[in-house]
Structure 1
Amino acid sequence: MEKGRLEAFSDGVLAIILTIMVLELKVPHGDGWQVLLPQWPVFLSYVLSFVYVGIYWNNHHHFLHAAEKVNGGVLWANLHLLFWLSLMPVTTGWMGENHFAQLPVALYGFVLLMCAIAWQPFQRSLIAANGGASSLLAQAVGGDWKGWVSVAMYVCGILLAFVTPWVSCVLYATAAAIWFIPDRRIESRIMK
């Protein structure tokens, strides 16, 4: 199977996700700074989600660039990942429109958690299709400490959302910051 078709499809889905999210931003009525103030939670949730989608797009690109081939398992694992990512616009909008209320923040964290969980079968199936545990791609991934730390932060964020949603948002933003720092594992092992 050609990996280019999978990459093109995934890029299209991610572009649509970003488009849907930006269309949720409403044009303020008025020309003063005061009309922007009620929009800050919507904009802030959009920025956080934009960064997350960008992180997944970047990592997805690196993994597919490092892979030589894909198979049916990779296709299904990719669809699983895209399913959870496609829920980002709904939870982003709900969280922003409700000014970071408890349940929307918890559900947002649940979608982040499911995206992180869905990344694992995608990663494992791509590694398996490209030589397994002894492949350079598997060696580049290593122990994936960022993945495990992120999952722990999402779980804590979901639970804390019912107590103090702002702490949850800080955890979600911190997890994004961990991934925002460029990961050189693939470049250093494969792209020499």
Structure 2
Amino acid sequence: MHKGRLEAFSDGVLAIIITIMVLEIKVPHGQDFAALRPMLPVFLSYVLSFIYVGIYWNNHHMMLTGTSKISGRTLWANLHLLFWLSLIPFSTGWVGENHFAQVPMAAYGFVLLMSAIAYFILQNSIIKSEGPNSVLAYAIGRDLKGKATAILYCLGIGASFWNAWAGGFFYVLVAFIWLVPDQRIERALHQQKKQAQERIAD
């Protein structure tokens, strides 16, 4: 399969996920700003989840930019990632409707953790398909950023059972860390292009 078809399908699923989330925000019946106050938790949870989906969309695109082969294993790994991402609207709605209660916040963190693990599996599936000398393997390296993310999610899940806002702190922290699109692959592609140009010049 050409990677363009996989990317187009993934983009469509992510667009649907965002659509479902925004449809969960119900229009208030009141006519003043006071009517919006009860909706604040729903809106805040939507904003955080929107940022997360945007982060996955950005990095998924960059990862496939440095990919030339799509194996059957990669297809299933991508579907596995989309499965966990498709649960974000449910966990977001649960958190918002229950005003950041402890159990919903922990469940939200679990979905984020599983999404991160699924992304890691997809990433490694592509590296195995393309080999250890591939652009993606060179760009990712030891992936300390990805491993640190998983640890922060686990801390957030645990903290949520003690204090929901403490758990939320870790989730926001991870979003902040990944808010700027991952430049590792772009730098690796630029380096590869530069080396190719130098070989042609020689």
TM-score (norm 1): 0.97
Q: For 1:1-192, list aligned pairs within 5 A.
A: 1-130=1-130, 132-191=131-190, 192=193
Does structure 2 retain, via aligned residues, the 8 Å contact 1:146–1:179?
no
**Counterpart amino acid of residue 10 in structure 2:** S
Alignment check: 8 A CA contact 2:59 2:181 kept: no
Q: Which runs of 4+ in 1 moved over 2 A?
A: none
- Within 2, Cα distance between the matches of 1:181 and 1:63? 15
The aligned length equals 191
Identify unmatched segments of 5+ residues in structure 2: 194-202
Rounded to whole Å, the distance in 2 between the matches of 1:55 and 1:94 is 21
> Which amino acid counterpart does residue 125 of structure 2 have in structure 1?
S
Between structure 1 and structure 2, the one with the greater Rg is: 2
Aligned 8 A contact 2:58 2:181 in 1: no
Shift of 1:145: 1.7
Shift of 1:181: 2.0
Q: 3-state DSSP class of the match of 2:168? A: helix
Superposed displacement of residue 63, structure 1: 0.7
What is the TM-score normalised by the length of structure 2?
0.92
Q: Quote the Cα distance in structure 2 between the aligned partners of 1:163 and 1:121.
A: 30
Cα offset, 1:182, TM superposition: 2.8
- Counterpart CA distance in 2 for 1:27 and 1:144 is 42
Contact 2:62/2:185 (8 A) holds in 1? yes
Question: What is the percent sequence identity of the aligned residues?
Answer: 60
Q: CA RMSD in A?
A: 0.9
Deviation at 1:65, TM superposition (A): 1.3
